[in-house]
Structure 1
Amino acid sequence: MRKLIFLAAIFCFVMAQKVEDCPPFGTELNCSGEFSPVCGVRGFSNNKQIRETYYNQCIACKIGHVEYTVEGKCEEFPEDGHFCSPTESKQEICRYLDSPRCGYFNKDVSCTSPPCVKDGRNVCMTCSIKNMLYTTKGKCKQ
């Protein structure tokens, strides 16, 4: 039984989607040819995140000039979704701005009927919830 629980814990750890900052000197990285697609986020334009899919995290940081990456292809996520950056995920103080968001948890969170979602007051408050991957405008549809 303990072995089964241990294997389940390892499986959950492996399945968790990673959001990773790029190092400050990403152009100096030596990248491998390993195919592990990521969605690179490079800032904002017209209040939308600028995103592009890259071959792997290293290449995204080296040639993509991205701020952070999210495991998986950009096309796998809603176009109007807002990825929670590593900085937003660590935010401790948020304004009390009322702009409802539906937050989608990463694969580390299991629920009885996917998708695993939670309503939040705004982007800051929603992204600061542990294991939150991205948000969309409005309240979650139940």
Structure 2
Amino acid sequence: MPTNKSAKKIANHGVVWEQAFGYVQAVQVKDTIYISGQLSHGDDGKLVGPAELDDNGRPSDFSQMEAQIRQTYVNTKKLLAEFGATLDDVVEETLYVLDVPSAFEAGSKIRKEMYGTDIPQCASNLIGVTALAFPEQIVEITFRAVIDRPAD
């Protein structure tokens, strides 16, 4: 894991848009891990559960919300592991979604599954937005985790 002069640790997935946009997926400063907006890509960089698009290039249904949320948590768990952390260390998450009702239904199920409890012990926000980075993307989630060990 590369380290820069200001004692930051970083982690990436190695997908092309990291270089194209110029950002890291996660950064640890002291005991806090900040995770950039995660989406449902697989190891090949392709979206898992892409939404079908209408003639205007907009998602036409949100039936893939559960698949996208699940894969987003899977990707987040991989990043957290780079810092020796887990979802138990997450203190805040924000879900940005194109359809709040379908995200609420899918998210309530997947969050409980991923955190392993009926009431995940983190602050959570669910925010409806009009667009995300990729047309087939219907959810993006940011996370903040706190661990009891500072960056090296």
Q: TM-score range by the shorter chain?
A: under 0.3
Give the TM-score of the pair, scaled to structure 1: 0.24
Q: Flag the structure with more relative contact order, 1 or 2, with Cα contacts below 8 A and sequence separation at least 6.
A: 2
User: Bigger radius of gyration, 1 or 2?
Assistant: 1
